[in-house]
Structure 1
Amino acid sequence: MTKDQKDPLFVLIKSLTKSEKRQFKLYVGRLGVNADSKFLNLFNVLDKSKKYDEKLILSSTDINKRQLANVKAHLYKQVLISLKLNPAHQNIRSQIREQLDFASILYHKGLYNQGLKILDKAKETAINNEEKNLAYEIVELEKVIESQYITRSISNRADQLAVQAKELSAANVLTSKLSNLSLQLYGVLLKTGYVKDEAEGKHIEEYFNARLPKYDIAELGFREKLWLYKAYLWYGFLMQDFLSCYKYARKWVDLFYEQPNMIQLNPVFFLKGNNYLLESLFFLRQKEKFDKRLEKLEKTLAEKNFPDNENVATLSFLYINLNKVNSFFIDGSFADGLYLIPQIEKELKSYKTKIDEHHQMVFYYKFASMHFGAGNNLDTIFYLDKIIKNKSLTMREDLLCFSRILSVIAHYEAGKDEHLETDLRETYKFLIKMNDLHEVQKELIRFIRDLGDVYPQDLKYAFKDLLEKLKIFENHPYERRSFLYLDIISWLESKISNTTVGQVIRDKYLDQKK
């Protein structure tokens, strides 16, 4: 990764919109003394630069090398303060925090009653918007003020605050346990993907049950339900229980549609919930439901009151486009979806600093798989090479493994088998290193390795023989994970019937609908 992408200040300044840059200069210019300040000069240089260049900074300003770190830190802070003051970045949380700050100032000035009035309104807003951490913080400050200044406005004020603090604390503890479990399961999913064998499945099951706190669903608020559904969702994905994934992803999304104000406050969670709902429907091959949900999401995003910021825009791009691609996978219409690839690639460049490397690689795997389904093997190899040659990618070991397997198949299909033995040997070593060499992979690698000894007239029989061997794993609780990444069964059937993978999947989809 290049230096300009790593420098936080440069990336922050380049992320600013024209209006945000204008506001920053107005904010800085409110004091005439800042007009020729070093940090403003630094801002102007970085704003005009296409990449971070320390030599250019030092030659274009009166900042010396020893001062640069401090000036950068000061500029970074001033940009953030300017953004904080921008109405576009104001939300319920920032408004509550602001009221909390105001109340603290009034308290320190000895204006207790005024501080308590502000806190009371802020607490009501926090509770109504499920901001229980902030509500608890407010109650704690109320207790401090009441302990020093008895208002006598409510006779049981101390008891009331104590009960509120206890209830909020209990809710926050439950939320913390659920969010911890959810994030830990998500971390496992990102690191290793679906469970690979019975031992791993048992470990995840025990891990989940040991850490799932006791709860009464009727007593849970929005926040607690959200983290509960997330935890069950990740557990379902790890165990490849896609019906369970669909169930909890739907509960997650419906939670937002039942309380639309929460979409405004938590647009990121709303988007993520929809993405996992679509992913569940994708694995269940429910195209009609999938397309309806995708259309509903696009309509919601197009509404005028839907939150609009860089983070939301990035996630919207990511989830809408990944699922648009997935739609063509369900019914095998790969060739029909190829037009999306150059469009998405072009937009990906503008999100270069905002979309993490993992998701960029997922796009490349999808592109490769779509080309493979359409019979374009050289294009398949092109996109897989982007993943295989990426030495910095540490997440989704399963993605790395299946990229190598698909690459071997694509090389064979394209007739580029001059290095087949070497590729097979490297893939075999890689799978062993990743502890991902299972029966499906073994059979497939053994088959491709031995293809050179098969006479042309016997090829179809060899494919049929491998198909029979792999069919028994199609519904195996752990071996079937191979088919989630690469539809090897359909590939073999396409070789036997002398057609494309896409046509085989299309025929299966139409048979399923009958």
Structure 2
Amino acid sequence: MSNYNNKLDNLLLLIKTLSKSEKRNFKLYANRIKRNKYAKFMKLFEIMSQINYYDEKRILKYTDIKKVQLSNMKAHLYQQILISLKLQHTEENHDIQIREYLDFSKILYNKGLYIQSLKFLKKAKIIARYYEYNTILLELVEFEKMIESQHITRSLYSRSGELSTESKELIERIQCRNALSSLSLELYGLYLKVGYVRNKKDKVFIETYFRTNLPKFDIDKLSFYEKLLLYQAQVWYHYIRQDFIMCYRSSYKWVELFQNNKKEKKIAPVSYLKGYHYLLDTLFYLNHYSKFTDVLKKLEKEVKNGEILINGNTKILIFMYTYTNRINKHYMEGSFSEGVKKIIPSLFIDFQKISNHMDYHYIMVLYYKIACLYFGSGDNENAIFYLSKIMVNKKKNLRQDLQCFARLLHLIACYESGLDENMDQKIQSAYRFFIQMNDWFFVQKEIIHFFKNLGNVYPHQMKGQFKKLRDKLIKYYDHPYEKRTFLYLDIISWLNSKIKNKSVEIIIKEKFIKTHHQIMK
């Protein structure tokens, strides 16, 4: 499915991200000096634009570059491409434009042209204020203060006081924003490491951490980005605590904030997409099918209509969020087989194009979703294949929760497929991993013990054993900590399928029809 493990080369990866217009602009930029047209670095660019994986022998053969020169030539080409991209995208990257004005201002200052220097600073400040680049704005103000303090540039003595006030206000805003961004980032990091709260100790820790690190604020006085960081921090906080109703409220505010501020949708499309994703995710966990489908349609419509800026980052997120939520829709409906037919072929094609640019967290989530879709459709062999890809991951500090539950589903899929010849070894391996990850709780224990004791059960007793396990586990379905297992794995539906002698797909489909019919009434 993926070339993820192929040898990666930074220059090749950069060239592969270039659009046709970016390649054309690079050639125009490089060829502005006539002798560059036949330069070795341009030949290197041409050959690397044609290959799909790094092939040093081919590069050396078709470029006349000596092996000892290749490293320096690649570094030179890499830098030239970045300069070309900077020049091409200055207008849409406002922080680059501000930096350019600041550079001009410093050059003019060093020439002794103070009034001209201040004019460029003024232009830079207008953009920085409009787009809330407060950190850069503070740098601009500090430079302006320095000019005003060292040189007589104006007749108004009040200017120094104005700049001091502006500087103090900016520092306060930056401190508030930094506190919110640090809180948001720390909470997200905790989620990536362990997932949801596992016990009372986790819950107390996360609540204390959130309360003590949340800065005092007046919501009406917060800027767009301060509100965004606040809603993000609230989403991670409620998400980790499995409070999905509160998470829904915060993620809704997150998306609504962008929809009420159209220009920010273009400036920060990554944050907008993430808000959409968490809104969909919470609706999925709340099992609110009608709202979920409405929000998913809105997201897909915005993408189709070009309302969301497409770049290297948003391509990955649109791919990830569109496919995972389409899969989630099939989970809710119990239409797993339909999902495999409709989604998997195009998913694989699109995944091949961007897999080298995706971080491993996204890849793990995607593998788990694919595995669950296959498992629900009755294709246990493919489920095992994608679960194994998660289990071989060496980054044990990344999504420990996902790695743990992948092992539980792996045991179930192996049992279902009849690939249970090394079951004791697989059970032992899963057990050791849960202990190692400090994730050994009641539901996990009961499932592991169930599989461990299966060898001692006669065929006619099997249904009774499945009933016994279901009755034990169902008591923990709404438990504040134990319920997280059911968020990853619909173990109850699997047990009901064994008891009723029906497929998992039919069980979930019947449950969906019954629930949806009651809501429609």
Q: Aligning the two structures, in what range does the TM-score lie when normalised by the shorter sequence?
A: over 0.9
The Cα offsets for residues 332-374 of structure 1, whole Å up to 9 and x where unpaired, read as: 2222322211211111001121222221221121111112222
Question: Contact 1:377–1:413 (CA<8 Å) still a contact in 2?
Answer: yes
> Could you say which residue in structure 2 is the equivalent of 1:206?
208
- TM-score, normalised to structure 1, is 0.94
> Could you say which residue in structure 1 is the equivalent of 2:372?
369
Quick one: which of 375, 395, 399 aligns to 1:396? 399
* 2:387 is the alignment partner of 1:384: yes
> Could you say which residue in structure 2 is the equivalent of 1:217?
219
**Aligned ranges 1:185-204 → 2 under 5 Å:** 185-204=187-206
Distance across 1 between alignment mates of 2:164 and 2:486: 56
Distance across 2 between alignment mates of 1:70 and 1:139: 40
**Aligned ranges 1:88-167 → 2 under 5 Å:** 90-152=92-154, 154-167=156-169
Q: Residue 393 of structure 1: CA displacement?
A: 6.7
- SS state of the match for residue 198, structure 2? coil
- SS state of the match for residue 146, structure 1? helix
The two structures, once aligned, show a CA RMSD in angstroms of 2.1
- SS state of the match for residue 170, structure 1? helix
> Could you say which residue in structure 2 is the equivalent of 1:263?
265
Distance across 2 between alignment mates of 1:55 and 1:504: 56
Q: Residue 311 of structure 1: CA displacement?
A: 2.0
Distance across 2 between alignment mates of 1:442 and 1:488: 13
> Could you say which residue in structure 1 is the equivalent of 2:229?
227
Question: Contact 2:90–2:96 (CA<8 Å) still a contact in 1?
Answer: no
Question: Contact 1:132–1:172 (CA<8 Å) still a contact in 2?
Answer: yes
Question: Contact 1:96–1:122 (CA<8 Å) still a contact in 2?
Answer: yes
Q: Residue 481 of structure 1: CA displacement?
A: 0.9
Letter in 2 for 1:206: T
> Could you say which residue in structure 1 is the equivalent of 2:490?
487
Q: Residue 62 of structure 1: CA displacement?
A: 4.7
| Comparing 30-39 and 348-357, the one that deviates more | 30-39
Q: Residue 82 of structure 1: CA displacement?
A: 0.6
In structure 2, the CA distance between the partners of 1:185 and 1:372, relative to structure 1 (3 Å rule), is: same
Distance across 1 between alignment mates of 2:22 and 2:513: 52
Letter in 1 for 2:369: K
> Could you say which residue in structure 1 is the equivalent of 2:170?
168
Letter in 2 for 1:114: Q
Distance across 2 between alignment mates of 1:195 and 1:268: 27
Q: Residue 330 of structure 1: CA displacement?
A: 2.0
Structure 2: gaps (5+ residues): none
The Cα offsets for residues 390-422 of structure 1, whole Å up to 9 and x where unpaired, read as: 445752111111111111111111222222112
> Could you say which residue in structure 2 is the equivalent of 1:449?
452
Distance across 2 between alignment mates of 1:196 and 1:452: 30
> Could you say which residue in structure 2 is the equivalent of 1:346?
349
| Comparing 109-118 and 491-500, the one that deviates more | 109-118
Question: Contact 1:4–1:10 (CA<8 Å) still a contact in 2?
Answer: no
Distance across 2 between alignment mates of 1:304 and 1:297: 11
Q: Residue 3 of structure 1: CA displacement?
A: 8.4
Quick one: which of 478, 499, 502 aligns to 2:502? 499
Distance across 1 between alignment mates of 2:121 and 2:81: 29
The Cα offsets for residues 69-89 of structure 1, whole Å up to 9 and x where unpaired, read as: 332222111110011111487
| Comparing 417-426 and 273-282, the one that deviates more | 417-426
> Could you say which residue in structure 1 is the equivalent of 2:69?
67
Distance across 1 between alignment mates of 2:343 and 2:221: 45
Q: Residue 153 of structure 1: CA displacement?
A: 5.5
Letter in 1 for 2:356: T
| Comparing 101-110 and 18-27, the one that deviates more | 101-110
| Comparing 277-286 and 334-343, the one that deviates more | 334-343
Question: Contact 1:178–1:212 (CA<8 Å) still a contact in 2?
Answer: yes
> Could you say which residue in structure 1 is the equivalent of 2:9?
7
In structure 2, the CA distance between the partners of 1:5 and 1:314, relative to structure 1 (3 Å rule), is: farther
In structure 2, the CA distance between the partners of 1:411 and 1:305, relative to structure 1 (3 Å rule), is: closer
Distance across 2 between alignment mates of 1:49 and 1:379: 31
Q: Residue 59 of structure 1: CA displacement?
A: 4.4
> Could you say which residue in structure 2 is the equivalent of 1:435?
438
Aligned residues: percent identity? Answer: 47
Quick one: which of 11, 18, 21 aligns to 1:19? 21
Question: Contact 1:357–1:393 (CA<8 Å) still a contact in 2?
Answer: no
> Could you say which residue in structure 1 is the equivalent of 2:424?
421
Question: Contact 1:193–1:398 (CA<8 Å) still a contact in 2?
Answer: yes
Q: Which runs of 4+ in 1 moved over 6 A?
A: 1-4
In structure 2, the CA distance between the partners of 1:219 and 1:368, relative to structure 1 (3 Å rule), is: same
Distance across 1 between alignment mates of 2:40 and 2:402: 47
The Cα offsets for residues 417-438 of structure 1, whole Å up to 9 and x where unpaired, read as: 2221121111111211121121
In structure 2, the CA distance between the partners of 1:393 and 1:81, relative to structure 1 (3 Å rule), is: farther
Q: Residue 44 of structure 1: CA displacement?
A: 2.8
Distance across 1 between alignment mates of 2:177 and 2:247: 20
* 2:503 is the alignment partner of 1:465: no
Question: Contact 2:323–2:347 (CA<8 Å) still a contact in 1?
Answer: yes
Question: Contact 1:103–1:116 (CA<8 Å) still a contact in 2?
Answer: yes
Aligned residue-pair number:
514
Quick one: which of 280, 285, 288 aligns to 2:287? 285
Quick one: which of 408, 413, 422 aligns to 1:410? 413
In structure 2, the CA distance between the partners of 1:106 and 1:302, relative to structure 1 (3 Å rule), is: farther
Letter in 2 for 1:218: D
- SS state of the match for residue 190, structure 1? helix
The Cα offsets for residues 146-181 of structure 1, whole Å up to 9 and x where unpaired, read as: 223333354411111111111111111111111111
| Comparing 483-492 and 386-395, the one that deviates more | 386-395
> Could you say which residue in structure 2 is the equivalent of 1:330?
332
Letter in 2 for 1:169: I
Distance across 2 between alignment mates of 1:114 and 1:287: 60
